[in-house]
Structure 1
Amino acid sequence: MKEITVLELKKMIDNKEDFQLIDVRETFEYEMSNLNGLNIPLAGVILEASKISKDKPVIMQCRSGARSAAALNQLEQQLGYTNLYNLKGGILAWKAEFEPDMPVY
């Protein structure tokens, strides 16, 4: 499984790179705080796979990195995705590094 750090993600955002961010947390978690990614909860990631790009880097993220890793594995194994990266440490790592006041469930 390929991973990126929050520092690498921040550089991608700052450089306006072309990528997609998918947040696989539950809707109530996403509404509390998010990084402006597309919210597709883990349970629906296969059903909503048509919303996930296959032709540019896709960063999968959740609270700590566990659910996004599960989503990434499902997409790779069942649908053959090869362009997925897990955000190491999830939104908790983002909060710790960049936004200490961010509310996180």
Structure 2
Amino acid sequence: MTLATLSPADTRAAVDAGARLIDIRGADEHARERIPGATNVPLERIGDLPRDGRPVVFHCKSGMRTAANAAQLGAAAAGTPAYILSGGIEAWRQAGYPVVADRSQPLEIMRQVQITAGALVLTSVLLGLFAAPGFFGLSVFVGAGLMFAGVTGRCGMANLLRIMPWNRRTSA
């Protein structure tokens, strides 16, 4: 199913006319930056979308996630008019509409995974070159973990980072 896209201006008009704006990003992303009035229903819980008959406009960060999951989003809307905010929250911000940014919230978990994995690989390569070749094994371990996460959808590093003290503060 293909959902029609709306520009930020058309989305604003739809919301002003009573449409619901649904943020499909994770709770951590939503807590860090969000469109005022948007309801957070992460993609993995989209089946829990409240149905009240009003039109729905889905958004993510750039519009790619919503476009890639349009069929699932359309099914979750259950027959009510459903749209995608073209360009996501980035286009909304560029159009000059307000966003609520809370930089005191932790970085998104996947960004933390990318930073941690990159730091581990870089460190292991440098240690492998300058200290002992056995340190190259850490790069192999991290690479295998990332491949496992990609294949199964379960990331051990993300699960570990999620319970770290700096990630305990997310409120929307």
TM-score, with length taken from structure 1 = 0.76
2:12 aligned residue: 10
Give 1:74 shift: 0.6
1:40 aligned residue: 41
**Structure 1, 84-93 or 29-38: larger mean CA deviation:** 29-38
Q: Secondary structure at the match of 1:45?
A: helix
CA separation in 2, counterparts of 1:101 and 1:21? 13
Unaligned runs of 5+ in 1: none
- The C-alpha deviation readout for 1:31-59, integer Å capped at 9, x for no partner, is 1111121101111112x13x144x22100
Aligned amino acid, residue 71 of structure 2? N
CA separation in 1, counterparts of 2:74 and 2:5? 14
Give 1:97 shift: 1.4
Unaligned runs of 5+ in 2: 109-172
Instruction: Indicate which of 83, 86, 91 corresponds to 1:85.
Output: 83
1:30 aligned residue: 30
CA separation in 2, counterparts of 1:44 and 1:22? 12
Aligned amino acid, residue 33 of structure 2? S
Identity of aligned residues (%): 27
User: Root-mean-square deviation (CA), in Å?
Assistant: 2.7
Higher-helix-fraction structure:
2
Contact map agreement 1:60 1:69 (CA 8 A) in 2: no
CA separation in 1, counterparts of 2:99 and 2:80? 35
**Greater relative contact order (CA < 8 Å, ≥ 6 in sequence):** 1
Q: 1:2 to 1:99 in 2, by over 3 A?
A: closer
TM-score, with length taken from structure 2 = 0.49
1:57 aligned residue: 55
Aligned amino acid, residue 43 of structure 1? E
CA separation in 1, counterparts of 2:78 and 2:12? 27
- The C-alpha deviation readout for 1:50-81, integer Å capped at 9, x for no partner, is x144x221000000112223443114357743
